[in-house]
Structure formats: C-alpha cells, structure tokens
Chain A
Amino acid sequence: MKLHEYQGKELLSRYGVAVPMGKVAYSPDQVRAIAQELGVPVMVKAQVHVGGRGKAGGVKYCKDPDAATAAAEAILGMDIKGFTVKKVLVTAAVDIAKEYYAGMIVDRNVQTYTLMVSKEGGIEIEEVAATRPEAIFRLPVDPVAGLRPFEARRVALEAGLEGSLSKIAQMMVALSRACFAADATLAEINPLVVTAQGEVVAADAKVDLDDNALFRHADLMHYRETEAEHPLEVEASNFGFAYVKLDGHVGIIGNGAGLVMTSLDVVNRVGGKPANFLDIGGGAKAEVVYNAVRLVLRDPDVRGILINIFGGITRADEVAKGVIRALEEGLLNKPVAMRVAGTAEEEAKALLADLKTPLIRMYPDMFAAAEALAREVSA
C-alpha cells in the first residue's frame, strides 16, 4: 500500500523523524487558513500516488497566504500523469542548507532491509544509482536489533554528510524503527534537509507498506484510498485476485503468478498488448473463474481474452465451467482464446468442444492462442 507524503510523514514522525509543521487541505480556503496559522512561507504540494510532482508543477513555494491560495487553486484539480490532485499538503518551507537522501528498502539479496544514504539528495535516487552508484552508501540492517546509532553515525560519516551527526543519526534510527514497526517495504526521506539553523528534518517522505502485514496494522488502514486505485483493481482485490491493470487490449486470465507473467510475455512477443494481469490462484472453482471473466470483460479496453490454464491443483474442467457460465448468461461478447492443459484437461476439452459458439476457441499451446487472439483484436 502506497502512502501519500503527508501520511508517510505522519507515520515516520510517530517514530521520531522530525518533519516540518504542516496539514493536508482539500480546498484553497483551507490552504489559506493553514498558511495563516503557520505564519511563515509555505510549500503547497500535490498529494498523488505518482512521482515527478515537482516537474509537473504540483509543488510550489509560497511566501504568504495569498500566494498559497493561488497555488492551491492551480494545483487542486490538476492532472499529474493520469492522477487528479484532490488534496495538497501545506507545510512550513524549510531554510535548506544541505539536501541529503536516506532510504530503507527490503533487499532480497541481503534478506533484510538495506539502508541507503547519499549526499546527493533532492533528486531521484534511481538517477544517482544509475549514474554515480558510488555516491550511495549501503548498509544491511539487522532485522532483530534494527539500525543502531553507531551504525547510523558510521554511514553518515562514510557518506560525507555534514551537520549535526547525532541529529542525522537519530533520524536514520527513527526511520529504521518505523520500517520494522509498520512493516514498510520502502521508506525514503528525500530530501533529508539540514536547515540553515542546523535542524535536521524530513522535507519529503515516500512510504510503501507491506500488504501482507496490513492485518496487524488496523491503525494504518485508514490510509488506504480505494479511489486512488483503478476501480477494477479495487473490485479484483475484493474477489481476492492478484490483478494489475495494464494499458493494452488483450485481457489475460491464468492460474499462478509465474504462468500469468509468462502469458503477458507471450502476448507481447506476438505483437499484442496485455490489458491486465489476473491470477485466479490455485484450486479455483468455476465460480471464481466466472467472476474473473466478468471482471475482465468490464474493462472497456479489453477486446478479447486469453485464458491460459495449466491445471495443477486447479482443475481445468472447473475453469471451462466458469467460462461456459459466462457464455450462457450472455455476458460473453468478445472472443476468448483458451489454452487448457494439466489436471482434468480432457474433461475441460470435452465440455468446450460441445459448445456451438464462435466466441470460444481452443488452442493446443499458449503461443498459438495468443497469436490468434492478438491478430484478431488488432485487426
């Protein structure tokens, strides 16, 4: 689950990360009131789940409440990479002396979090990683002890950060504590600012939480914004499907994440463009498949569906029954290319062979199915 900047800051500050005073606002009037209350120059920052807000004009420095109100009028309602800005964070502008980067990320190579620290803050860390990897200092963090102050000081010194060593270290330790306590998969402070007055504050925060751990964070669930997700993704998660909306025209349904990814690859290889990733999981019954087909058909971008099943625990005949139910209920109005193999393959083929419809077609392998469907929907 992705958090907005203001949510991330709220979370990190609970564990001791210092952040500038600020509040979230939904209208220019609210922005004016907050700016007046703060009584200092402010930043008005679009709160959307996408990077590159600054470049898109979604972040503005405002010297007084009038300027803040005008900025809010411009930013609220703005479209940033397909996301409409519905709220802004109004936060005290900080007097920047130094801009650094500190981030914690789940790192499968070391089987724990890696703390990354760089002197080159304020810009995308991917850019630094790509062009000057030596400018990022990395330290695997012990998952039982968490980051210790001496380690934080060592990293700060090695990275060449200037400013109060103890305050910088304190912030990193707090960041680590927040990650373990809230089950973050990623938490970045960028920039980590040393102010002209010598204070150390997080001027921005990007936090992603581990979806698998949300069950033990009832207090964080109010951060979830279903309206910020694709409506089909919300519906899919209610059905328990792993679903990702993509921007092509070929709907894809399969069992098992690896097989669905492979189906995506095959569709791309034959010149098609996948409209989605949908994994029905293991052991799906006809009803689950029926729901999956209905969901994918609801996507207006979908012109045809590739169903790729290798029956292991899932029975191929259950899959066939689900598709047939969608057909019998008159829901099926687009071509379906099916490849079914594995457990109960013969039963599935027998069921599907009896159908008198040109909409459902069977193919011996996923390649043939994808090729025929891609040709048809792009014609």
Chain B
Amino acid sequence: MSILIGSETQVLVQGITGREGTYHARAMREYGTKIVGGVTPGKGGASLDGWPVYDSVQEAVRHHRIDASIIFVPPAGAADATLEAAHAGVPLIVNIAEGMPTVDMMRVVRELKDLNLRRRLDGQPPIRLIGGNCPGLVSSGKCKVGIMPNRFFASPGRVGLISRSGTLTYEAAALLSEAGLGTSTTVGIGGDPVIGTTFADVLPLFEADPATEAVVLIGEIGGADEEAAAAYIAGHMRKPVVAFISGRTAPEGKRMGHAGAIIMGNVGTPESKLAAMARAGVPVADTMPEIAALLSKALP
C-alpha cells in the first residue's frame, strides 16, 4: 500500500516536449512509473520516446485513463495548465513549477474548491493539487510522480515523509534508508506561500495507510502550516511523528530562498512551531541525523 499513487497509477506529463519535461518523463519511466503520454499545446500528434503527445489534457483523457498529471510548464503558464488538468477531471495534479505568482495560486486553489464542491454533488472524488514549487511525490519502489533522484527511493520502507523543502527531502530519505527504515510514500508539498496540499491534508492519509508506521515532517519557518499539523497530530494521530524545522535562526523579514519561508512580525517564528510540536508530543530533531535516532526510539 501507499498513499495517493501506486504501481497502477497512469501518469500524464504536461509540457513533455520541453527540456525539463522530457528529462523527468524519462527518469520517471526508469523508476517504473506508468507514463501514458504527454501534452504540449500545438504539438498534438507528435510522439516522444513512443509516448503520444496531445494538444490538450482533454484530448489525452479521451484516449487514456489518467490518474495523475505532472506539470512542467514555465511559471507564467503553470496556473493555466493546472486548471486545464482539473477541468479535464484529472484527480491528482502535481505542479513542479518554481516561481509562480502568488495571486495565480490563490485563484487556482479557489477554483479547485468550487470544482470539488460540484464534483461532490455529482458523486465524484475530489481533485487534489500538490505544489507548486515542489519535488512531487514518490511511493518507494512503485511509482514516482516528481523530480526526486530515483536512487534515494529504491525500495519500500516504513516511514511516510512530508516536506516543504526539496533537497532536505532527499537527504531525509537517504538517512532513513541508511538507518534501515526506508520510506513508504514521500510527499513534497512545496515552498510557496499558497500551495494546494498542506501537511494537515497529508497526515490523515498516512494515519490510514497500513504501509506507513511513522511519519517524518520537515517544516520550515513562515506561515502556520506546522502549527496546523501539530493540532491535527494531537487530536487524531496514533502513529508516531518526528519533525524537523529549518530556518530556526533566520532573521526576521528576510526571505530565505522559498517565498514562503519568511518571518513577518510574530507570524512564522520557529518558537511558535517548536511550542506547537511540543504540545502535540512531537519530538523535533535539532539536526538531520537526529531524525533517524528519534524515529528508532518512537518505533516499536
């Protein structure tokens, strides 16, 4: 088992003929992901590595069952591409684009809410967006819908991993493998101020996933997503959770690379996040290697 994706997931690549799109489509296939085709408006009818290229997501959906779409479109067009996939009914959309205007994401998130309300009335499952500015997700040994290096996610493990940061996700996955724990599913939720899926959205899925025995949450300064996650953990989770918070010594008002990683006044401070985790009984690792040690202690 895994969450959100699995060995049967059929994936569409939006922007497949672009440099990044092509590169990562091939890397995903190498990992074992079932990629069924791609979309590049204006290049419909072409083919790439044997994959059919369509003009629109709508057209791709007519030819294949699409379970997930991954978006490799420049930031100026990424919101449009996301909504295109949503309106075509793709249930899982992974937006990799880095540098999207925040207002665009606000409107995407708002439109998805409306769309999901209508879908619920029609008895259809909701559409979920992961990202933007995220590395995607991977169900170890089964399926990758993302850009993470394959080698750190080679075989299925016991720990669910959720993170706002890309590189720290890879580092954590490597640490968990070395410690003999490994990852079940890894979800990179992204470093932007407005994102489609938050920690608190992913935690219930891990809680319900029989393949996940514990969860590692990698947060950072800025916003209150970690606090919301802590509240959920305190109220609903039985599985152990270990957290790591980066940017604990960052100065106020400086944007640390991620648009979302900024302390403004008393919002987004590490003190608030650490206190929330402490209240929820979640141990917070001071260094990355400590994550594995804390997990080993928490796991039976």
Binds B, one of A26-34, A83-91, A155-163, A207-215: A207-215
Which of chain A's residues have a CB closer than 8 A to the CB of B223? 108-109
Contact A261 B257 (CB under 8 A): yes
Which of chain B's residues have a CB closer than 8 A to the CB of A126? 265-266
For residue B117, give the distance in angstroms from its CB to the closest CB of chain A. Answer: 14
A-B contact pairs, 11 of them (CB 8 A): A109-B223, A109-B228, A111-B194, A130-B266, A143-B106, A246-B251, A258-B166, A258-B258, A259-B168, A264-B247, A310-B170
Contact of B110 among A144, A244, A255 (CB under 8 A): A144
Not counting A212-B75, A260-B256, a sample of 18 additional A-B residue pairs whose C-beta atoms are within 8 angstroms of each other reads A108-B223, A125-B265, A210-B102, A212-B99, A212-B100, A213-B102, A244-B255, A246-B251, A256-B257, A257-B191, A258-B168, A259-B246, A261-B261, A262-B247, A262-B288, A265-B250, A277-B256, A310-B174
The answer to whether A312 has its CB under 8 Å from any CB of chain B is: yes
Q: Enumerate A105-152 residues with CB–CB distance to B below 8 Å.
A: 105-106, 108-109, 111-113, 125-126, 129-130, 142-144
A interface: dominant SS = mixed
Contact of B193 among A108, A242, A279, A313 (CB under 8 A): A108
For residue A146, give the distance in angstroms from its CB to the closest CB of chain B. Answer: 11
Give Cα A332 to B220, complex, Å. Answer: 33
Binds A, one of B45-53, B57-65, B80-88, B145-153: B145-153
For residue A123, give the distance in angstroms from its CB to the closest CB of chain B. Answer: 13
How many residue pairs bridge A and B at CB < 8 Å?
164
Contact A264 B249 (CB under 8 A): yes
The answer to whether B103 has its CB under 8 Å from any CB of chain A is: yes
The answer to whether B171 has its CB under 8 Å from any CB of chain A is: yes
Give Cα A282 to B163, complex, Å. Answer: 17
Which of chain B's residues have a CB closer than 8 A to the CB of A129? 265-266
Which of chain B's residues have a CB closer than 8 A to the CB of A216? 76, 101
Q: Which residue of B lies closest to A314 (CB)?
A: B167
Contact A341 B174 (CB under 8 A): yes
Which of chain B's residues have a CB closer than 8 A to the CB of A244? 254-256
Which of chain B's residues have a CB closer than 8 A to the CB of A367? 287
Contact B261 A343 (CB under 8 A): no
Q: How many residues of B contact A (CB 8 A)?
A: 61
Q: Which residue of B lies closest to A259 (CB)?
A: B167
Contact B194 A112 (CB under 8 A): yes
8 A-B pairs closest in CB distance: A258-B165, A256-B167, A257-B257, A213-B101, A143-B106, A126-B265, A268-B249, A261-B247
Contact A282 B266 (CB under 8 A): no
Contact A342 B102 (CB under 8 A): no
Q: Enumerate B92-116 residues with CB–CB distance to A below 8 Å.
A: 99-107, 109-111
Contact of B164 among A112, A258, A262 (CB under 8 A): A258
Digit string of A350-377 for contact with B (CB within 8 Å is 1, else 0)? 0000000000000001110000000000
The answer to whether A269 has its CB under 8 Å from any CB of chain B is: yes
Which of chain A's residues have a CB closer than 8 A to the CB of B32? none
Known contacts A111-B194, A242-B257, A257-B191; is-contact A342 B166 (Cβ 8 Å): no
For residue A44, give the distance in angstroms from its CB to the closest CB of chain B. Answer: 26
The answer to whether B260 has its CB under 8 Å from any CB of chain A is: yes
Digit string of B233-253 for contact with A (CB within 8 Å is 1, else 0)? 000000000000011111100
For residue A102, give the distance in angstroms from its CB to the closest CB of chain B. Answer: 17
Which of chain B's residues have a CB closer than 8 A to the CB of A311? 149
Which of chain B's residues have a CB closer than 8 A to the CB of A210? 101-103, 259
The answer to whether A183 has its CB under 8 Å from any CB of chain B is: yes
The answer to whether B271 has its CB under 8 Å from any CB of chain A is: no
Contact of B149 among A254, A279, A313 (CB under 8 A): A313
Which of chain A's residues have a CB closer than 8 A to the CB of B104? 213
Digit string of B6-38 for contact with A (CB within 8 Å is 1, else 0)? 000000000000000000000000000000000
Digit string of A255-295 for contact with B (CB within 8 Å is 1, else 0)? 11111111011101100000001010010000000000000
For residue A115, give the distance in angstroms from its CB to the closest CB of chain B. Answer: 14
The answer to whether B218 has its CB under 8 Å from any CB of chain A is: yes
Known contacts A257-B256, A313-B149; is-contact A262 B246 (Cβ 8 Å): yes
Contact of A142 among B99, B110, B225, B255 (CB under 8 A): B110
Contact B171 A310 (CB under 8 A): yes
Q: Enumerate A233-265 residues with CB–CB distance to B below 8 Å.
A: 242, 244, 246, 254-262, 264-265
For residue B96, give the distance in angstroms from its CB to the closest CB of chain A. Answer: 11
Which of chain B's residues have a CB closer than 8 A to the CB of A254? 167
Q: Which residue of A lies closest to B100 (CB)?
A: A212
Which of chain A's residues have a CB closer than 8 A to the CB of B171? 259, 310, 341-342
